[in-house]
Amino acid sequence: MVKIEHIGIAVENLSRSIPLFEKLLNSPCYKTEKLASENVNTAFFLTGETKIELLESLTHDGVIAKFIEKKGEGIHHIAFEVDDIEAEMERLLKEGFVLLNKSPKPGADNKLVCFLHPKSTNGVLVELCMEKKQTGQ
């Protein structure tokens, strides 16, 4: 894996949390994006090479809403950048990790992503992500 690409943080309310993180990081939110396929609104901040991704549920029964119900607001996942997501998925499967999706799926911020089941990673929800190519996708 190349680096930590971003850390995902579950929040109840983006419009409340964006100014809070702008203050905390002293860096403006550079992008918000609704990802209907994942039932979330996202907001991104840059801290050096790594991003912070805030996640707000679009509905009361979305995965982020359920996460907050169980654990409260806070760190939701760690995303690692990979060069070749399919090869990395194959490697991790062989190592015995449990993948939550069989093929890479579109994520926020122009990425292809895949999640690993936290049961196989000591309770940490891990995301693999790879920048979508400009052509052909």
| Residues of the shown chain interacting with Zn ion in the complex, contacts defined by CB under 5 A | 8, 53, 79, 127
Quick one: tokens of 10?
């579950």
Measured from the CB atom, is 88 or 127 closer to Zn ion? Answer: 127
Measured from the CB atom, is 47 or 94 closer to Zn ion? Answer: 47
Q: Give the span between the Cα atoms of 5 and 52, in whole angstroms.
A: 9
- Least gap, CB of 91 to Zn ion (angstroms): 20
CA distances from 93 to 36, 82, 90, 117 (A): 28, 15, 5, 11
Q: Give the span between the Cα atoms of 104 and 21, in whole angstroms.
A: 29
Across the chain, how many H-helices and E-strands are there?
3, 8
- Least gap, CB of 126 to Zn ion (angstroms): 10
- Least gap, CB of 73 to Zn ion (angstroms): 16
- Least gap, CB of 127 to Zn ion (angstroms): 5
- Select the residue whose beta carbon is closest to Zn ion and give its number: 8
Measured from the CB atom, is 126 or 136 closer to Zn ion? Answer: 126
Measured from the CB atom, is 22 or 63 closer to Zn ion? Answer: 63
For residue 119, report the phi and psi dihedrals to the nearest 5 degrees.
-65, -25
